[in-house]
């Protein structure tokens, strides 16, 4: 299994195309976030308001890139029948599945986290402000690693079932589009039932908006956000995410176990 993992890692880093894709997506993320920060910068230069007002903004590129990584690691070898050859050469299906699955989940999560840090870094650069506590936001964001594990496990399961390289590559984009519609149409999307909903719950802050009537300025708006992390938020996020990830990976395996790989 270690050799399989090593070869997969080598394959990823050797591929200049994928490195370029990652780089371009990172650049696109940076540029878009810079424009969004400039549009959303609050009074007194508080750019953290972007994160407060758009809790799922930073996941867009994270999930897209996660889909590309998982697709490359899992589905890339179905088309050229590498997996069939590996089975023929004596590797067990479990070994192959675990190698690809764990690498895809680990790599996808790390890449998604790095990508998602971009808005936070840019907001710090432009002036974080006092609206959101930076430490709390970073802690909440680090907790998003668990929903990312869940989402990447789902992508792994879907990749092993669909076995289509291009569909796997696009899975991140599809998930983003579907959930952006659901956020607007479904009530109460900040919960633990889905990985994306869990991320929204982690990055949503209880808020209070008020205004004051100031004779020199007129109506001046103020808002405060509660960023504290509660124990049940942490525990539920970890439990639901890891539990769902294990289920997805298990389902993917029992499908792959008897699959004829055609």
Partner 1 sequence: MRLVEIVFIAIELLALIGLLIMAFKEPKYNMSRFRFLYLFPAFIALCFVMCAGFDADYIPLYIGGCVEIIALYSIRLIYKKMLIVCSMILVLVSTTLGIVSPNHNRPRIYDDFKEGFATMKAHYILDKEKGIDWDELYNKYEPDFKNADKNRDVVRSYQLWQAFCKEFYDGHVSYTVDKPDIMLKSFGADYGFSLVRLDDGRFVAINVEGCKNSFSIDEIENDRLEYERVKKDYIPDNLDDIRLTLKNEGIGNGTVITQINGKDITDYYKYLDYYMYQYPDKNNEEFYKPFYVAGLTEDGDGGYSLNLDTDQKDSSIEITYIDDNNQERTVSAPYLGAYAARLIDTFVRLDEGEFVSNLDWKSINDDTVLLRISGMIYDYKTYDGVDFDVVSNQIREEVLAYKEAGVKNIIIDLRANSGGSPYFVQAVAKIFAPKGEHLTYYSAKLNEKTATFERGEDGKYIKGEPSSYQGEDIWHDGKIILLVNAECVSAGDDMVYMMGDYPNVRVMGLTSSNSSCQAVTGIELSNGSLSFSAVPNLDEDGEIVIDTRTDHVGRTPFDEKIPMTLDVVDSIFNRGEDYLDDYVVDRF
Q: What is the largest CA-CA distance in the chain?
A: 81
Q: Please give the backbone phi and psi of residue 220, each rounded to the nearest 5 degrees, phi first.
A: -120, 125
Instruction: Please tell me whether residue 89 binds partner 1 under the rule CB under 8 A.
Output: no
Instruction: Please tell me whether residue 87 binds partner 1 under the rule CB under 8 A.
Output: no
Which region among 34-42, 92-100, 182-190, 228-236 touches partner 1 (by CB under 8 A)?
A: 182-190
Comparing C-alpha atoms, which of 28, 31, 34 is closest to residue 50? Answer: 34
Instruction: Please tell me whether residue 209 binds partner 1 under the rule CB under 8 A.
Output: yes
**3-class SS string, 133-202:** CHHHHHHHHHHCHHHHHHHHHHHHHHHHHHCCHHHHHHHHHHHHHHHHHHHHHCCCCCCCCCHHHHHHHH
Residues 221-260 contacting partner 1, CB under 8 A: 222-224, 251, 254-255, 257-260
**Helix pair angle (93-126, 16-40), 10° resolution:** 30
Distance CA 106, CA 153 (A): 9
| Contact of 148 with 112, CB cutoff 8 Å | yes
Residues 108-167 contacting partner 1, CB under 8 A: 130, 161-162
Residues 10-29 contacting partner 1, CB under 8 A: none
Instruction: Please tell me whether residue 39 binds partner 1 under the rule CB under 8 A.
Output: no
Question: CB-wise, 48 or 118, nearer to partner 1?
Answer: 48
Instruction: Please tell me whether residue 261 binds partner 1 under the rule CB under 8 A.
Output: no
Question: CB-wise, 32 or 247, nearer to partner 1?
Answer: 247
- How far apart are CB 44 and partner 1 at their closest, in Å? 9
Comparing C-alpha atoms, which of 173, 178, 155 is closest to residue 252? Answer: 155
Which region among 32-40, 61-69, 102-110, 184-192 touches partner 1 (by CB under 8 A)?
A: 184-192
Which of 88, 184, 208, 230 contacts partner 1 by CB under 8 A?
A: 208
Distance CA 154, CA 101 (A): 10
Which of 14, 81, 193, 239 contacts partner 1 by CB under 8 A?
A: 193
Is residue 130 helix, strand or coil? Answer: coil
Distance CA 244, CA 193 (A): 9
CB under 8 Å to 260, separation ≥6 — which residues? none
Which region among 4-12, 16-24, 54-62, 210-218 touches partner 1 (by CB under 8 A)?
A: 210-218
Question: CB-wise, 29 or 227, nearer to partner 1?
Answer: 227
Instruction: Please tell me whether residue 214 binds partner 1 under the rule CB under 8 A.
Output: yes
Distance CA 16, CA 19 (A): 5
Question: CB-wise, 175 or 203, nearer to partner 1?
Answer: 175
Instruction: Give contact residues for partner 1 (rule: CB under 8 A).
Output: 130, 161-162, 178-179, 182, 185-188, 191, 193-194, 197, 208-219, 222-224, 251, 254-255, 257-260, 262
């Amino acid at each position: 299994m270690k050799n399989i993992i090593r070869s997969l890692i080598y394959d990823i880093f050797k591929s200049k195309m994928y490195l370029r894709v990652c780089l371009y997506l990172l650049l696109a993320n940076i540029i878009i976030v810079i424009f969004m920060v400039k549009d959303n910068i609050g009074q007194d230069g508080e750019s953290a308001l972007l994160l407060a007002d758009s809790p799922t903004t930073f996941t867009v590129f994270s999930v897209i890139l996660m889909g590309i990584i998982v697709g490359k690691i899992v589905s890339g070898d179905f088309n050229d029948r590498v997996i069939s050859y590996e089975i023929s050469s004596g590797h067990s299906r479990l070994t192959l599945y675990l190698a690809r699955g764990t690498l895809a989940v680990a790599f996808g999560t790390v890449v998604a986290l790095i990508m998602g840090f971009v808005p936070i870094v840019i907001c710090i650069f432009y002036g974080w402000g006092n609206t959101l506590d930076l430490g709390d936001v970073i802690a909440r964001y680090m907790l998003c690693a668990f929903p990312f594990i869940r989402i990447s496990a789902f992508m792994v399961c879907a990749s092993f079932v669909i076995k289509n390289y291009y569909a796997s590559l696009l899975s991140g984009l599809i998930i983003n589009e579907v959930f952006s519609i659901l956020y607007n149409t479904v009530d109460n999307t900040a919960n633990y039932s889905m990985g994306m909903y869990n991320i929204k719950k982690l990055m949503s802050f209880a808020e209070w908006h008020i205004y004051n009537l100031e004779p020199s300025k007129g109506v001046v708006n103020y808002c405060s956000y509660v960023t504290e992390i509660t124990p049940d938020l942490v525990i539920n996020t970890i439990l639901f995410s890891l539990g769902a990830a294990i289920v997805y990976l298990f389902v993917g395996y029992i499908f792959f176990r008897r699959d004829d790989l055609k």
